[in-house]
A and B are shown apart, each in its own frame.
Chain A
Amino acid sequence: MIAAPLLIRNARLVDPLASEPRDASLLAIDGRIAAINPAETPADAITVDAQGMLLAPGIVDFGVFAAEPRACRFGGITRVALMPDGAHPLDQPGLIERAAKAGKPDLWIHPLAAATRALEGQTLAETGLMQAAGARGVATGRTRVADAGVMARVLAYAGGLGLVTVTHAEDEGLTRGAVATTSEMAFRLGLPSAPAMAEAMAVARDIALVEVTGAPLHFRQLTTAAAFDLVRAAKRRGLPVTCGITPAHLLLNDVALGEWRTFARLSPPLRGEDDRQAALAALADGTIDVLCSAHDPRGPEDKRLPFADAAPGMAGAETLLALGLGLVHDGTISLTRLFALLAANPARLLGVEAGTLAVGAEADLILVDPDTPWQIDTRRMSARAGNTPFDGLPVQGRVRSVWKGGRRID
């Protein structure tokens, strides 16, 4: 499906590779960005007047548990990296191939291959065959690989294929049975908890394994001061270590668990205020590479339960951009940095030519009105379930148009 040439003029371009947004027009031909401020435009081009709104690369949402085109369209997400967890873990080439095709043409799904068979943390899955079938990385799933020897082999093998390994960072011994971070709040609510240090313990082990193997490693979500210190130091040593975070861990602390609100039951759990502040600092100073939704819609059967019995996870695809723009509005990060976190960096991890407004990149584009106010409403979300811990929050910024490969998505 070849799209007609597309000219978007009168736009404010937000290119993660540039230092600042700039007013310009953008021409896309054959699904790729052909020129910025083109000297001439093909006669058959569709012309769009952006009316000064933001034109940015489509969001690459790194590490979702469900790929939902409607929710992604609302949120300005044009590609997702899909976690291998599911009723049947993505541990075979056939499953990868099917998952990779499921969203096209509106949403491109880049499956992350299960690092081990059935995600059991024991034996290597057929990583190379899954790569050939469309996998763009390997992932350990909702938990880490407990056995350090297995993890070392996962890293080395995937690294050899040029694939990033994506891991969860919690020491399973400390966190077994826990549903919250050890804190006054967890104690008051009577919730089984684990110390926040369980995260840094896992990060320290895996950074050591990166030193041993030299293979790239991405921590899907880091949330604690101690873990950011470790990643900061590893990056300074030049190790190929990256990390991500969700808006929830930047904007909420464990006080959100009050009254046992199960929409605030996340994995990793919400942390104390000191760790939240450390996360904001790590976002500002470049320690954090990726801002992701961890989209995981959960219906009442998983959430209308006592807190400890409820499943962790939140629906985040629709709120990722607006919450990210909030961090721009309040001065934590710049607009170009936001789109480095949302698009350029995750695209680079996946090795796809997207996430920027560079000439030659895929014309995955979103037009954003950064100021339009709206209110997050759990009942009005397009995701399969509206389990957001931000219900009722007023936010600013709305996606007006989305193009995938130069073709408009309605």
Chain B
Amino acid sequence: MTSSPRPLDPRTPNGHAAFPHRHLLGLAGLQPWELSFLLDEAERWVDQARDDAGRSLLAGLTIINAFFENSTRTLLSFEIAGKRLGADVVNMAVAQSSVKKGETLIDTAMTLNAMRADAIVIRHASSGAVALIADKVDCPVLNAGDGLHEHPTQGLLDALTIRRRKGRIDGLTVAICGDIRHSRVARSNMIGLATLGAKVRVAGPPTLVPREAEALGADRFTRVEDALDGADVVMMLRLQSERMDGAMIPSPREFHALYGLTAERLALAKPDALVMHPGPMNRGVEIDSAIADDPERSAITEQVAMGVAVRMACLDVLTRQRRGVEGWA
């Protein structure tokens, strides 16, 4: 995909200029060509995930996955990505309870820094916590999700999935449905997809879809049917169980009745509309099983595969400077 040399167009710079950032803390602030560059790099690994060049690319490098919040899928995805590139991957699962007070978080950052990792992947329950740690360490930091803020590799893997299935992102209408308010996935997708030229819609009950989403360029709907009308991509978000029982919505079954993705509702979208979900799914709440399992419509398992490729690309790109890659050192 990226084998041909890039033209000397200022919008497609080469080497370090293609992605002149030390960390990946969010998709906010990234230029369209920077996002495209990461997607192009990820595209390589989709097909060549197991070739020998990749196996030794990060040989001798140490990557620490520091997860201050429970995660199975994202942690596994980062671990596999690092190992496929030949890095030594260490997982540090820190129970949120034991690291709650402030100095401890900074202290943990200092400790991680003293380990001389070559990259640190961090997940934390508080918005901005990853940026706080990134400020204290000498190596690249990848945000694997911080509070309600961003989950940039999820945004990238969703963009890659869409681009591969639809051939483009520019001009597509993407409907993101469900709990927008509490979703870092929604924020990264709204920002990333809008930067790449998509028309983003957000939809869900008013308690979960804040008006401020419009400031990020999204059109806001409180009837999910209106958002699905003519959409190219339908992205359902996971509804956290603690928000289902009257706190934000009356009940899971009411949510399903009014906002869940059913075959009837999906029929409002384009006939070839793609269905996505960041997982894990609440089947029968935000999405019907029949849709989730329909290989023609659902890209849900493909998203997981793209996740590994995107994380390989991010680990590769962010460590190029310290690996002395030509044009990056």
Contacts and interface: CB of A to CB of B under 8 A. Distances in A.
A302 B101 CA distance: 9
A306 B216 contact: no
Given A306-B126, A306-B132, A307-B126, A184 B103 contact: no
Given A189-B149, A309-B126, A301 B101 contact: yes
Nearest to B136: A304
A306 B148 contact: no
B128 interface: yes
B149 A308 contact: no
B50 to A, nearest CB: 36
A305 interface: yes
Interface in A159-191: 182-184, 186-191
A192 B149 CA distance: 10
Interface stretch (B9-17, B192-200, B207-215, B250-258): B207-215
Interface residues of A, number: 23
A260 B132 contact: yes
Contact of A191 (B100, B103, B105, B127): B127
B212 A306 contact: no
B131 interface: yes
Interface in A182-210: 182-184, 186-192
Contact of B184 (A190, A192, A305, A307): A190
A156 interface: no
B286 interface: no
A182 B132 contact: no
A154 B71 CA distance: 49
A260 B212 contact: no
Of the listed residues A187, A191, A259, the one surrounded by the most CB atoms of chain B closer than 10 A to its CB is A187
A300 B107 CA distance: 12
Contacts of A260: 127-128, 131-132
Contacts of B150: 190
Contacts of A191: 127, 148
Interface in A1-25: none
A35 to B, nearest CB: 55
Interface string B214-227: 01100000000000
Contacts of B32: none
Interface in B164-199: 184, 187
Given A182-B210, A260-B132, A190 B127 contact: yes
Interface residues of B, number: 26
Contact of B216 (A183, A187, A307): A187
A272 to B, nearest CB: 11
A302 B149 contact: no
Contacts of A344: none
A310 interface: yes
B129 interface: yes
B148 A192 contact: yes
B210 A187 contact: yes
Given A190-B148, A301-B101, A304-B106, A184 B215 contact: yes
B103 to A, nearest CB: 6
B146 interface: yes
Given A183-B212, A306-B147, A300 B102 contact: yes
A300 B103 CA distance: 7
A209 to B, nearest CB: 30
B28 interface: yes
Interface in A293-318: 300-310
B210 A308 contact: no
A302 B150 CA distance: 24
Interface in B138-157: 146-150
A139 B126 CA distance: 32
A306 B106 contact: no
B151 to A, nearest CB: 10
Of the listed residues B131, B184, B212, the one surrounded by the most CB atoms of chain A closer than 10 A to its CB is B212
Nearest to A309: B126
Of the listed residues B101, B103, B126, B150, the one surrounded by the most CB atoms of chain A closer than 10 A to its CB is B126
Contacts of A302: 102
Given A189-B149, A190-B150, A302-B102, A307 B128 contact: yes
A61 to B, nearest CB: 28
B311 interface: no
Given A188-B216, A190-B146, A259-B131, A306 B105 contact: yes
B201 interface: no
Contacts of A301: 101-103
A184 B212 contact: yes
B124 interface: yes
B140 to A, nearest CB: 18
Contacts of B213: 187
B127 A307 contact: yes
Nearest to A303: B102
Of the listed residues B124, B184, B213, B215, the one surrounded by the most CB atoms of chain A closer than 10 A to its CB is B215
A386 B66 CA distance: 31
Nearest to A191: B127
Contacts of B105: 305-306
A182 B214 CA distance: 13
Nearest to A257: B128
A260 B149 CA distance: 11
B179 to A, nearest CB: 13
A90 to B, nearest CB: 27
Contacts of B124: 306
Interface of A: 182-184, 186-192, 259-260, 300-310
What are the 6 tightest A-B residue pairs by CB atom distance, in nearest-first order?
Answer: A190-B149, A260-B128, A306-B126, A190-B148, A190-B127, A305-B102
15 contacts: A184-B215, A188-B28, A188-B187, A189-B128, A191-B148, A300-B103, A300-B106, A301-B103, A304-B102, A306-B127, A306-B128, A306-B146, A308-B126, A309-B100, A309-B102
Interface of B: 28, 100-103, 105-106, 124, 126-129, 131-132, 146-150, 184, 187, 210, 212-213, 215-216
Given A187-B213, A190-B147, 9 more contacts: A187-B187, A187-B212, A189-B128, A190-B128, A190-B184, A260-B131, A301-B103, A303-B102, A305-B105
